[in-house]
Structure 1
């Protein structure tokens, strides 16, 4: 992997990320989530039937070509998988973890999320592969609460579930209770461990990724999300939604997310 080109992709000077410390790790994570979108267009194709998706790959070289050279985004197996390789090349002590995203109170299917744990003074979850809300900074596994720069609180605590060791949770300023984003076992996994679930999520009709295309990216003060007929901006606690035509959708995909798709 050409880590200089990866740094350029996320808008950082390679000379500024030579230290393997928490400050550098945080700078890398925040730069990544504000420049590389979470998107499933490679699975769904465009919403107008003009171009089919070409699928996803877990192969490291394919992820690099897509995200770095092709300036695309991806979903967790691609984004966190490649980011973990990048961190390892920079010298960080990093390992993959198999997590289960929680939806409607249920965590399923197994290994439906790939995340990374980086060990420095203590272990930290470092995740660049989620949609909204986006994790923007390293999160320790000892329960300490971290508030990000848009006011979302995050923590990772011991899980009460028999099938997991930890639960990563978030709470917005308007929330009274914590919401579990995903649960995971603290066991290192090889990339091949995720192959079956990646194939299922990229092809099964019931998968949340095989319906409409969704593209999102974090911004300095919120996030932007693109759906087939709307572009929604959440900035400084305010939401603005704009209806889109077919031409508008392609234009927003390119101007807001950097993806040229026709």
Structure 2
């Protein structure tokens, strides 16, 4: 992996990341989530090319580097956090891959290891550093000790103890202007290898009941909030408020490139 080229992909210079520190980790995370989109096109394919699915997701690191850095694509959590881990490691961070469970609308976290996140250790304190989520996106390192961190667009985040016997922690967020916390994902701070996620990755890109095998979704953090593209609509989220515009078939690829810097070509 060429770390300098990866940094250029997310708009940073090597001088911006001179040593492992909380400030550098925050710089890396924010740059990543506002530059590299969360997208499921490798699973669903182009919604207008007549194909039933995309080229598939492969977790081999050279493939991820080629896709995200060289071809300037995005991906979902196994890809984005999977490759981001290697950048953090190359920049001398003490970083672990961690398996998590995204919590659905029913409050359940299933299947196991349906989310890949990263945890760094700085001066004996552990922080989630996650660049692999859709909306809402975590923009800055989050302490695993319960401290609340609020980002620049008003989303508050925290990690609390889980009441489940099979997971230790629960990550929660609170939308701007809201008083209630919402569950995001469960996890235990146990280091894993990238190969640990392969079975769930294969399931999520092939099972009919998977949230990723339906309509395509592309999303990214912005300076004001978030932007999300589906097959027929573009949603902007600013200050927790959503506005939606329809997107015509003939305009979809132009919107994809304009809003996300992404030219989709299956390879």
**SS of corresponding position for 1:195:** helix
Shift of 1:173: 2.8
Matches within 5 A, 1:173-192: 173-192=176-195
Aligned to 1:112: 114
Aligned to 1:35: 35
Which structure 2 segments of 5+ residues have no match? none
Aligned to 1:55: 56
Work out the CA distance in 1 between the residues paired with 2:189 and 2:141.
16
1:151 aligns with 2:154: yes
Shift of 1:237: 4.4
Render the CA deviation track for 1:188-210: whole Å, top value 9, x for unaligned: 00111101000000111110000
1:81 aligns with 2:82: yes
Which structure 1 segments of 5+ residues have no match? none
- Higher deviation after alignment, 49-58 or 81-90: 49-58
Tell me how large the CA RMSD over aligned residues is: 1.1
Work out the CA distance in 2 between the residues paired with 1:2 and 1:140.
29
Work out the CA distance in 2 between the residues paired with 1:178 and 1:242.
28
Matches within 5 A, 1:147-226: 147-226=150-229
**SS of corresponding position for 2:201:** helix
Matches within 5 A, 1:101-140: 101-103=102-104, 104-121=106-123, 122-140=125-143
Shift of 1:40: 0.1
Matches within 5 A, 1:229-240: 229-240=232-243
Contact 2:177 2:240 in 1 (8 A): no
Aligned to 1:18: 18
Normalised by the length of structure 1, the TM-score is: 0.97
Render the CA deviation track for 1:25-78: whole Å, top value 9, x for unaligned: 000000000000000011101112345410011111111000000100000000
Normalised by the length of structure 2, the TM-score is: 0.95
Contact 2:175 2:240 in 1 (8 A): no
Aligned to 1:261: 264
Shift of 1:238: 4.2
Runs of 4+ in structure 1 over 6 Å off: none
Aligned length: 262
Aligned to 2:72: 71
Work out the CA distance in 1 between the residues paired with 2:13 and 2:190.
33
Work out the CA distance in 2 between the residues paired with 1:137 and 1:116.
12
Shift of 1:236: 4.0
